[in-house]
Each structure stands twice: as structure tokens, then as C-alpha cells.
Amino acid sequence: MAKSSSSPPPTGPEPLDVGDRDDGATLGRVNPHDGAPAPSADPAAAPTSPGAEPVAETADGPQTPAPVGPDEAPDPLDLERIGRDLDGVEAALRRLDDGTYWSDEVTGEALPDELLAADPVARRVEG
């Protein structure tokens, strides 16, 4: 009885033989699927194509940023508010230099430490 040799069933595409390069070096055999991500059948899966959004690595694994809609987008820079904040800081620095930082501008009453801790540019005890 003749012994027949059986080969294992194919497990995927046959690697390609890419031959020799122009400089004489041999590249060998390359499997086109090595290192390539498998396409997902899930339509909600994160895109893996070039130009896709970057994926951040976290302790829980890769995370793709959630899309931001117009209602969730960060507010544009409010230069007027920033200017008012700067004016308040500059006024507080002047009052600190003058020795009046800890006093209500109108009544002269001492400003509570809790008020100044919560609002360092406070000028008055509101009440």
C-alpha cells in the first residue's frame, strides 16, 4: 500500500515572492496581510483607513474621539470676557500695591478671606 502524503488545508492567501531588488538584495516572500488590520463588519467601528481620526491609547485600550456636534463644540474665544478678567486682575494688583486689597472699596469694611479666596478680584462685600 502506497503511503500518500497529505498537506494541511490552506489557511489563507499564499505569500507573494517579490524577487530581487535593483541593488541585488533579495526581498524574499511577503504576506500581504501581515500587520494589516482586518476590516470590520461593524459599521459603527472606528475607521482604519489612512486619514482617519487619530486613536488615543488609554489604560482601557485605544480610544477614538467622539464626534463633536455644533452644540457640543467649544465656545469661541471670548475676548471681551478675557479683557474684563484682565482688568479685574490689574485693579486687584493696584489695590494690593496701595494696601487697600483687603478692604471694600465703598464701605472700607474688611473683605472676608473666604470671599477673596473664592474671588481674588472681589472689590466689595455684596449684601
The predicted-structure confidence for 7-51, as pLDDT tens digits, reads as follows 666 566 555 555 555 655 555 555 555 555 555 556 565 555 445
| Largest interatomic CA distance in the chain | 115
Reported as type and span, the H/E element at residue 115 is: helix 113-118
Which has the closest alpha carbon to 91: 120, 126, 125? 120
Q: What is the pLDDT of residues 46-68, one digit of tens each?
A: 555 445 555 566 666 667 666 66
* Residue 71: inside a domain: no
* Residue 34: inside a domain: no
Which has the closest alpha carbon to 120: 98, 94, 101? 101
In this model, does residue 122 exceed pLDDT 70? yes
Counted domains in the chain: 1
Cβ neighbours of 110 (radius 10 Å): 11
* Residue 57: inside a domain: no
Give this prediction's pTM: 0.40
* Residue 67: inside a domain: no
* Residue 98: inside a domain: yes
Q: Residue 63: phi, psi to the nearest 5?
A: -130, 125
Q: What is the pLDDT of residues 98-108, one digit of tens each?
A: 999 999 999 99
Q: How many helices (H) and strands (E) does the chain have?
A: 2, 4
* Residue 1: inside a domain: no
